[in-house]
Structure 1
Amino acid sequence: MTTLSLAPIPGDLQWKNDPVDWTIGPDDSLSITAGANTNWFIDPAGSERVASNGPAAVFAPPVGDFLLSARVTVNFGATFDAGVLLLYERDDLWTKLCFEYSPQHEPMIVSVVTRGFSDDCNSVVIDGSSVYMRVARIGSAFALHYSLDGKYWNMVRYFTMGAVDNLRIGFLAQSPTGESCTVVFSEIAYRAESLKDLRSGD
């Protein structure tokens, strides 16, 4: 099994689904290229639309609270192309914080919490192809944030995934309707600490 290491990450990353291509930059950035028809989504209508084939580089965080953040730059080309921070417990229990290309051709912050079925929520439109995103664990709960400058953070979602005993977190690229999508995760930071205030901007 292919593993990769990034200086800011406390442990090796392993692939869930192989990418078309990936590279690590001299600044410890990670570039992931997803192929065609790649996604993570379980339709809440109960249809046959179930996908979990997007390439993701994930690792097991140390026990306790944490914050994982990155600047996410997406080479948008087709609807639902996205760069994602992923929280993964198992194939029917996971969360995506996405920087995604909407059907209206606008980059947007989107969150998907999946507990058997996916709960999909669009948030805010972003001007440009880059944004900062962060996932945080606070005890048995999680929080998702985005930032335009990497300093002031806006809350997207606060929720629980229930019991998570084998949590993996990391980076995912997807191209559900396109031929491919390349995402660059840069300025990656991991902190083993608790987020003190969900809504303060910290």
Structure 2
Amino acid sequence: MRTNLYFFLFISSVMLSCNQQKVESTSGVISATKSNITEKAISNMHWMNPPQSFEVVDSTLLVTVSKGTDFFNNPEDSAVVGSAPYLYKEVAGDFIAKAIVQPDFSSQWNAVALIVHLDSLNWIKFAFENSDATGPGIVSVVTKGTSDDANGVILNKEKKVWLAIARKDNIYALHWSLDGKNFNMTRLTSMPNQEVIKIGIEAQSPVGDSATHQIHFFEIEKITTEDLRNIN
């Protein structure tokens, strides 16, 4: 019996060690990804609701946002809020947009998100957010007049995450990843037909004090994805 117990403890230790190495490896992949965040790249984009401040430091975009910044068309009281800093490009046709985001989770609902924006009543927000329900995790908001609010996978041990939105015609797929290679779909939805839309990065602090969020990577690839459920 003791021999079996020692063997079980040994195997458990090995499995724990392997799991820890896997987590460390994932963080290393994110850290090692070459960033394309430059001042020139930022200058070729546009701000909707300029932030309190922003700067590029060591190839990372630091965005400081004020209290009360958010995108949410509240179904409970019909309030339409579109006050969060949003850095975007206008893009026609199909694409895949990807980002590595590291939110400041010092307050509830703080987040960094990818946003597809047609107009104030039609948009998609795909966020790494400090949810009131789960803590840090993936949250998606699809707005067609009013917003819904859907909590996804819980990632309360992570500081950074990959976010991706793929467009094919008027259908959009929302994916997240820890390593930039293995993406998992959170949601598949549609928007009204519109050839040119805005796509970019939003940073928010709805109820807390000022927060400084980090964006380590952002790209838009003009490509048609045949299978929106699998962008790997």
| TM-score normalized with structure 1 length | 0.88
Answering whether residue 70 of structure 2 is matched by residue 35 of structure 1, we say no
Could you tell me how far apart the structure 2 residues matched to 1:51 and 1:159 are? 21
Within the candidate set 217, 222, 230, 1:187 is matched to 217
Larger % of strand: which? 1
Corresponding residue number in structure 2 for 1:53: 83
Q: CA deviation at 1:136?
A: 1.0
| Cα deviation digits, residues 43-84 of structure 1 (max 9, x gap) | 123x153311001111112x3211110111011111100001
**Hey, what does 2:9 align to over in structure 1?**
none
Residues 15 and 145 of structure 1, relative CA distance in 2, 3 Å threshold: same
Q: Which residue of 2 aligns with 1:139?
A: 169
CA distance in 2, matches of 1:26, 1:60: 26
Aligned length: 193
Would the alpha carbon gap of residues 201 and 161 (structure 1) be closer, same or farther in structure 2, given more than 3 Å must change?
Answer: closer
Identity of aligned residues (%): 33
* Offset at residue 26 of structure 1 (A): 4.7
CA distance in 2, matches of 1:5, 1:49: 36
Aligned to 2:55: 23
- Give 2:147's aligned residue: 118
Q: Which has the larger radius of gyration?
A: 2
Which 5+ residue runs of structure 2 have no aligned equivalent? 1-38
For residue 169 of structure 1, the aligned residue among 188, 191, 199 is 199
Q: TM-score, normalised by structure 2?
A: 0.78
- Other-structure match for 1:200: 230
- Following superposition, the deviation at residue 33 of structure 1 comes to 1.5
Which stretch shifts more, 170-179 or 181-190?
Answer: 181-190
Let me know the Cα RMSD of the aligned residues. Answer: 1.8
Moved more, 64-73 or 188-197: 188-197
Give me the whole-angstrom Cα distance separating, in 1, the residues matched to 2:192 and 2:119: 12
Amino acid at match of 1:6: A
What's the CA shift string for 1:17-54, capped at 9, x where partnerless? 11011112453x32222100111101123x15331100
Answer 1 or 2: which has greater helix percent: 2
Q: Please state how far the C-alpha of 1:187 moved relative to its aligned partner.
A: 2.5
Aligned to 2:41: 6
Whole-angstrom CA distance in 1 between matches of 2:133 and 2:146: 25
